Structure 1
Amino acid sequence: MRRAELTVGAVLPELRVAPVSRTTLALFAGGSGDHNTVHIDIDAARRVGYHDVFAHGMLSMAYLGRMLTSWTTQDRIRSLRARFTAVTPVGASPVCTGIVTAINEHGGETTATITLEITLADGTTTVTGEAVVALN
Protein backbone atom coordinates (compact mmCIF):
# COMPACT_ATOMS: atom_id res chain seq x y z
CA MET A 1 0.00 0.00 0.00
CA ARG A 2 1.42 3.36 -0.99
CA ARG A 3 0.29 6.88 -0.23
CA ALA A 4 -0.77 7.43 -3.85
CA GLU A 5 -3.29 4.62 -3.44
CA LEU A 6 -5.04 6.16 -0.45
CA THR A 7 -6.56 9.57 0.27
CA VAL A 8 -8.23 11.25 3.20
CA GLY A 9 -11.88 10.25 3.16
CA ALA A 10 -11.22 6.79 1.73
CA VAL A 11 -13.49 4.13 3.22
CA LEU A 12 -12.04 0.76 4.19
CA PRO A 13 -13.93 -2.40 3.25
CA GLU A 14 -16.39 -3.00 6.07
CA LEU A 15 -16.49 -6.20 8.08
CA ARG A 16 -19.91 -7.69 8.75
CA VAL A 17 -19.77 -10.19 11.57
CA ALA A 18 -22.13 -13.13 12.01
CA PRO A 19 -24.58 -12.73 14.89
CA VAL A 20 -22.84 -13.05 18.25
CA SER A 21 -23.90 -16.38 19.73
CA ARG A 22 -23.50 -17.91 23.17
CA THR A 23 -21.05 -20.33 21.56
CA THR A 24 -18.98 -17.39 20.28
CA LEU A 25 -18.88 -15.94 23.81
CA ALA A 26 -17.94 -19.27 25.38
CA LEU A 27 -15.19 -19.88 22.84
CA PHE A 28 -13.86 -16.33 23.23
CA ALA A 29 -13.85 -16.72 27.03
CA GLY A 30 -11.81 -19.90 26.70
CA GLY A 31 -9.43 -18.50 24.12
CA SER A 32 -8.87 -15.18 25.86
CA GLY A 33 -8.95 -16.37 29.45
CA ASP A 34 -11.68 -13.79 30.17
CA HIS A 35 -14.29 -15.82 31.99
CA ASN A 36 -16.17 -12.84 33.43
CA THR A 37 -19.54 -14.38 34.18
CA VAL A 38 -21.60 -11.50 32.71
CA HIS A 39 -20.44 -12.73 29.30
CA ILE A 40 -21.33 -16.41 29.74
CA ASP A 41 -23.88 -16.81 32.56
CA ILE A 42 -27.34 -15.26 32.13
CA ASP A 43 -28.01 -15.39 35.88
CA ALA A 44 -24.83 -13.42 36.60
CA ALA A 45 -25.73 -10.87 33.94
CA ARG A 46 -29.21 -10.44 35.41
CA ARG A 47 -27.80 -9.99 38.92
CA VAL A 48 -25.95 -6.88 37.74
CA GLY A 49 -28.91 -5.44 35.81
CA TYR A 50 -28.61 -6.85 32.29
CA HIS A 51 -31.36 -8.78 30.53
CA ASP A 52 -28.89 -11.31 29.09
CA VAL A 53 -25.19 -11.95 28.58
CA PHE A 54 -23.31 -9.68 26.19
CA ALA A 55 -20.09 -9.73 24.18
CA HIS A 56 -16.67 -9.08 25.67
CA GLY A 57 -15.27 -5.67 24.78
CA MET A 58 -12.09 -7.33 23.62
CA LEU A 59 -14.10 -9.47 21.19
CA SER A 60 -15.12 -6.21 19.54
CA MET A 61 -11.46 -5.17 19.46
CA ALA A 62 -10.67 -8.49 17.77
CA TYR A 63 -13.28 -7.72 15.13
CA LEU A 64 -11.64 -4.34 14.48
CA GLY A 65 -8.27 -6.05 14.20
CA ARG A 66 -9.78 -8.55 11.76
CA MET A 67 -11.19 -5.73 9.64
CA LEU A 68 -7.80 -4.02 9.53
CA THR A 69 -5.86 -7.19 8.71
CA SER A 70 -8.27 -8.05 5.92
CA TRP A 71 -7.20 -4.74 4.38
CA THR A 72 -3.50 -4.62 5.31
CA THR A 73 -0.91 -6.82 6.95
CA GLN A 74 -0.55 -7.02 10.73
CA ASP A 75 3.03 -5.69 10.69
CA ARG A 76 1.77 -2.36 9.26
CA ILE A 77 -0.55 -1.62 12.20
CA ARG A 78 1.23 0.90 14.41
CA SER A 79 -1.58 1.45 16.92
CA LEU A 80 -5.15 0.43 17.59
CA ARG A 81 -7.26 1.98 20.32
CA ALA A 82 -10.94 1.95 21.08
CA ARG A 83 -13.60 3.22 23.43
CA PHE A 84 -16.53 0.99 24.29
CA THR A 85 -19.75 3.00 24.10
CA ALA A 86 -22.46 0.32 24.42
CA VAL A 87 -22.76 -3.41 24.97
CA THR A 88 -23.08 -5.87 22.11
CA PRO A 89 -25.96 -8.19 22.99
CA VAL A 90 -26.27 -11.84 22.06
CA GLY A 91 -27.75 -12.10 18.58
CA ALA A 92 -26.38 -8.75 17.39
CA SER A 93 -24.45 -8.59 14.12
CA PRO A 94 -21.63 -6.03 14.48
CA VAL A 95 -20.52 -4.04 11.44
CA CYS A 96 -16.98 -2.64 11.55
CA THR A 97 -16.13 0.42 9.46
CA GLY A 98 -13.12 2.64 8.95
CA ILE A 99 -12.47 5.99 7.27
CA VAL A 100 -9.07 7.49 6.56
CA THR A 101 -8.95 10.84 8.39
CA ALA A 102 -5.28 11.78 7.94
CA ILE A 103 -2.14 10.83 6.06
CA ASN A 104 1.13 11.81 7.73
CA GLU A 105 4.88 11.49 7.36
CA HIS A 106 6.90 10.43 10.41
CA GLY A 107 10.64 9.87 10.03
CA GLY A 108 10.36 8.65 6.46
CA GLU A 109 7.28 6.50 7.11
CA THR A 110 3.91 7.42 5.64
CA THR A 111 0.98 6.51 7.89
CA ALA A 112 -2.77 6.68 7.62
CA THR A 113 -4.94 7.52 10.61
CA ILE A 114 -8.20 5.63 10.41
CA THR A 115 -11.32 6.42 12.43
CA LEU A 116 -13.03 3.17 13.41
CA GLU A 117 -16.56 2.35 14.46
CA ILE A 118 -18.68 -0.69 15.23
CA THR A 119 -22.42 -0.36 14.84
CA LEU A 120 -25.41 -2.66 15.18
CA ALA A 121 -28.46 -2.97 12.91
CA ASP A 122 -30.53 -0.73 15.21
CA GLY A 123 -28.00 2.08 14.79
CA THR A 124 -26.29 1.63 18.17
CA THR A 125 -22.59 2.45 18.08
CA THR A 126 -20.83 -0.01 20.39
CA VAL A 127 -17.20 0.99 19.75
CA THR A 128 -15.39 4.04 18.46
CA GLY A 129 -11.67 4.11 17.89
CA GLU A 130 -8.65 4.88 15.82
CA ALA A 131 -5.84 3.01 14.14
CA VAL A 132 -2.58 4.18 12.63
CA VAL A 133 -1.35 2.08 9.73
CA ALA A 134 1.95 2.32 7.84
CA LEU A 135 1.51 2.77 4.09
CA ASN A 136 5.11 2.28 2.91
Structure 2
Amino acid sequence: ARLGVDLLIFGGAKAGANCTEAIVMFDKSLARRIDNRLKQAGQVASKGRFLAAPFLGLLESKAWEDGAAHANLMARRLAAGVAANTPFVLAHPVEANAVFVRMPPEAHQRLNDLGWACYRFDDGSVRFVCSWATREEVVDEVIEAMRGL
Protein backbone atom coordinates (compact mmCIF):
# COMPACT_ATOMS: atom_id res chain seq x y z
CA ALA A 1 0.00 0.00 0.00
CA ARG A 2 1.36 3.39 -0.98
CA LEU A 3 0.41 5.10 2.27
CA GLY A 4 1.66 2.29 4.47
CA VAL A 5 -1.91 1.16 5.13
CA ASP A 6 -2.89 -2.38 4.24
CA LEU A 7 -6.45 -2.33 5.52
CA LEU A 8 -8.86 0.43 6.51
CA ILE A 9 -12.08 0.04 8.46
CA PHE A 10 -14.60 2.77 7.58
CA GLY A 11 -17.12 3.03 10.42
CA GLY A 12 -20.61 3.81 9.19
CA ALA A 13 -22.05 4.83 12.56
CA LYS A 14 -19.24 7.33 13.04
CA ALA A 15 -20.04 8.78 9.62
CA GLY A 16 -23.75 9.20 10.32
CA ALA A 17 -25.06 5.86 9.05
CA ASN A 18 -26.37 2.82 10.85
CA CYS A 19 -24.24 0.14 12.51
CA THR A 20 -22.21 -0.75 9.44
CA GLU A 21 -18.55 -0.85 8.58
CA ALA A 22 -16.77 -1.08 5.27
CA ILE A 23 -13.48 -2.89 4.94
CA VAL A 24 -11.18 -1.29 2.38
CA MET A 25 -8.24 -3.51 1.44
CA PHE A 26 -5.30 -1.77 -0.17
CA ASP A 27 -3.23 -4.96 -0.08
CA LYS A 28 -5.22 -7.32 -2.29
CA SER A 29 -3.37 -10.36 -0.93
CA LEU A 30 -5.20 -9.83 2.37
CA ALA A 31 -8.55 -10.28 0.62
CA ARG A 32 -7.95 -14.01 0.18
CA ARG A 33 -10.65 -15.84 2.12
CA ILE A 34 -11.82 -12.66 3.91
CA ASP A 35 -15.41 -13.76 3.35
CA ASN A 36 -14.75 -16.93 5.36
CA ARG A 37 -12.95 -15.03 8.10
CA LEU A 38 -15.80 -12.55 8.46
CA LYS A 39 -18.34 -15.35 8.62
CA GLN A 40 -16.33 -17.18 11.31
CA ALA A 41 -16.20 -13.95 13.33
CA GLY A 42 -19.97 -13.50 13.10
CA GLN A 43 -19.65 -10.43 10.91
CA VAL A 44 -21.94 -11.49 8.09
CA ALA A 45 -25.45 -10.27 8.82
CA SER A 46 -28.44 -11.89 7.23
CA LYS A 47 -30.01 -9.41 4.83
CA GLY A 48 -26.84 -7.32 4.99
CA ARG A 49 -27.86 -5.44 1.87
CA PHE A 50 -30.46 -3.59 3.95
CA LEU A 51 -27.69 -2.38 6.22
CA ALA A 52 -25.44 -1.54 3.29
CA ALA A 53 -27.93 0.60 1.36
CA PRO A 54 -27.76 3.71 3.60
CA PHE A 55 -23.99 3.29 3.86
CA LEU A 56 -23.70 3.24 0.08
CA GLY A 57 -25.78 6.41 -0.07
CA LEU A 58 -23.37 8.12 2.32
CA LEU A 59 -20.44 7.16 0.13
CA GLU A 60 -22.03 7.90 -3.24
CA SER A 61 -23.37 11.30 -2.19
CA LYS A 62 -20.12 12.13 -0.38
CA ALA A 63 -22.22 13.14 2.65
CA TRP A 64 -19.65 11.38 4.82
CA GLU A 65 -17.09 13.98 3.71
CA ASP A 66 -19.35 16.80 4.91
CA GLY A 67 -19.79 15.05 8.24
CA ALA A 68 -16.07 14.41 8.63
CA ALA A 69 -15.23 18.00 7.72
CA HIS A 70 -17.73 19.24 10.31
CA ALA A 71 -16.30 16.93 13.00
CA ASN A 72 -12.78 18.14 12.24
CA LEU A 73 -13.92 21.78 12.31
CA MET A 74 -15.54 21.27 15.73
CA ALA A 75 -12.34 19.66 17.02
CA ARG A 76 -10.30 22.66 15.84
CA ARG A 77 -12.83 24.98 17.50
CA LEU A 78 -12.52 23.02 20.75
CA ALA A 79 -8.72 23.03 20.61
CA ALA A 80 -8.58 26.77 19.94
CA GLY A 81 -11.01 27.45 22.78
CA VAL A 82 -9.07 25.29 25.22
CA ALA A 83 -5.79 26.96 24.27
CA ALA A 84 -7.18 30.50 24.53
CA ASN A 85 -9.57 30.24 27.48
CA THR A 86 -8.45 27.53 29.90
CA PRO A 87 -5.40 26.74 32.01
CA PHE A 88 -4.96 23.44 30.14
CA VAL A 89 -2.65 22.62 27.24
CA LEU A 90 -3.15 20.37 24.25
CA ALA A 91 -1.31 17.07 24.51
CA HIS A 92 -1.09 16.56 20.74
CA PRO A 93 -1.69 18.57 17.58
CA VAL A 94 -5.28 18.31 16.37
CA GLU A 95 -5.17 16.39 13.11
CA ALA A 96 -8.70 14.97 12.93
CA ASN A 97 -11.81 14.94 15.14
CA ALA A 98 -10.11 14.11 18.46
CA VAL A 99 -8.67 16.60 20.95
CA PHE A 100 -6.35 15.50 23.76
CA VAL A 101 -6.02 17.92 26.68
CA ARG A 102 -3.52 17.58 29.54
CA MET A 103 -5.57 17.75 32.71
CA PRO A 104 -4.84 16.87 36.36
CA PRO A 105 -7.00 14.10 37.87
CA GLU A 106 -8.90 16.55 40.11
CA ALA A 107 -9.90 18.74 37.17
CA HIS A 108 -10.91 15.68 35.15
CA GLN A 109 -13.08 14.45 38.02
CA ARG A 110 -14.75 17.87 38.39
CA LEU A 111 -15.45 17.96 34.66
CA ASN A 112 -17.05 14.51 34.87
CA ASP A 113 -19.03 15.63 37.93
CA LEU A 114 -20.40 18.48 35.79
CA GLY A 115 -21.73 15.89 33.35
CA TRP A 116 -18.97 15.97 30.75
CA ALA A 117 -18.07 12.30 30.47
CA CYS A 118 -14.55 12.04 29.12
CA TYR A 119 -11.76 9.50 29.36
CA ARG A 120 -8.39 10.23 30.99
CA PHE A 121 -5.35 8.31 29.79
CA ASP A 122 -2.42 7.28 31.97
CA ASP A 123 -0.28 10.09 30.53
CA GLY A 124 -2.73 12.65 31.95
CA SER A 125 -4.42 13.54 28.69
CA VAL A 126 -8.19 13.65 28.44
CA ARG A 127 -9.80 12.74 25.13
CA PHE A 128 -12.63 14.69 23.54
CA VAL A 129 -14.09 13.41 20.27
CA CYS A 130 -16.26 15.47 17.92
CA SER A 131 -18.65 13.95 15.40
CA TRP A 132 -20.79 14.88 12.43
CA ALA A 133 -23.50 15.80 14.98
CA THR A 134 -21.39 17.97 17.34
CA ARG A 135 -22.92 21.45 17.66
CA GLU A 136 -20.92 24.67 18.12
CA GLU A 137 -22.84 25.52 21.28
CA VAL A 138 -21.86 22.20 22.87
CA VAL A 139 -18.20 22.85 22.09
CA ASP A 140 -18.52 26.31 23.62
CA GLU A 141 -20.23 24.86 26.71
CA VAL A 142 -17.44 22.37 27.39
CA ILE A 143 -14.84 25.12 26.92
CA GLU A 144 -16.74 27.25 29.43
CA ALA A 145 -16.90 24.31 31.84
CA MET A 146 -13.13 23.83 31.54
CA ARG A 147 -12.54 27.53 32.08
CA GLY A 148 -14.22 27.25 35.47
CA LEU A 149 -12.10 24.32 36.71
Calculate the TM-score normalised by the size of structure 2. 0.24
Query: Higher relative contact order by CA 8 Å / sep ≥ 6: 1 or 2?
Result: 1
Calculate the TM-score normalised by the size of structure 1. 0.26
